[in-house]
Amino acid sequence: MTDPAGLPAWLQPLAEAAVDVRPEQLSSFLPPADGGRESAVLMLFGESEPGAGWEGADVLLIERANDMRSHAGQVAFPGGAVDPGDDGVVAAALREAVEETGLDPVGVQVFGTLPALFLPVSDFVVTPVLAWWRGPSPVDVVDPAEVASVHRVPLAHLLDPANRFRARHPSGYVGAAFQVAGLLVWGFTAGLLDRMLRLAGWERPWDRSLVHDLPADMVSREAGRR
């Protein structure tokens, strides 16, 4: 169900890197031998400025609603649990993206999947699905009870060293973070973006010694939903 052919030149390095990437290169949280709910997210790359290479490219992100049971208010890739009617993780990622953003899947070309990773907080075993938005369609919030906002975030903004730092959770966890489009991207999503930008060879040097505490309101929302 994946096809690397027909990708723009700027996206080819990511497709090639994804073939041999190991799960430990993506996260320190690996799936348990047993248990965990199978799920998938869609990492959908498009072009806001066709022909400009990665400098005119973007990635689709959503901001979850503040009263969600898990990961409330967090920025994430479209995605969710694999349902019994889904034909695997690719179908689940596409279905969830349609339900959350109104995406037209006809214009989406899946070109790979990454190794499954673990989200301990929600007990999800997550497979990231890589896709090229060869025929962009309008996207927006479909159900405000689930999604607060939808964004096509430019890769150039994610790669700008001025928008990068590491975020510290009260638990002591410190991980990659981005401040872009009025959004604070951290946790699983930021970690995956950080590693994908590096694997694709797009990353620019940034100050990894810069650490900021997570805002208190984000921490309280997370704690309140547990």
Domain boundaries, the chain: 9-224
Which of 2.40.10.10, 3.90.79.10, 3.40.50.360, 3.30.479.30 is the CATH number of 9-224? 3.90.79.10
pLDDT at 29 (0 to 100): 87
pLDDT at 34 (0 to 100): 85
Report d(CA 152, CA 158) in Å as an integer: 11
Single-letter amino acid code for the residue at 110: V
The predicted-structure confidence for 73-82, as pLDDT tens digits, reads as follows: 799 999 999 9
pLDDT at 221 (0 to 100): 63
Rounded to the nearest 10 degrees, what angle do helices 12-20 and 187-199 cross at? Answer: 110
- Which stretches in the chain have pLDDT values below 70? 1-4, 68-72, 220-226
C-beta separation of 42 from 77 below 8 A: yes
- Global pTM? 0.93
pLDDT at 2 (0 to 100): 54
pLDDT at 16 (0 to 100): 94
Residue in the block written with tokens 């990353």: 203
C-beta separation of 101 from 62 below 8 A: yes
pLDDT at 186 (0 to 100): 94
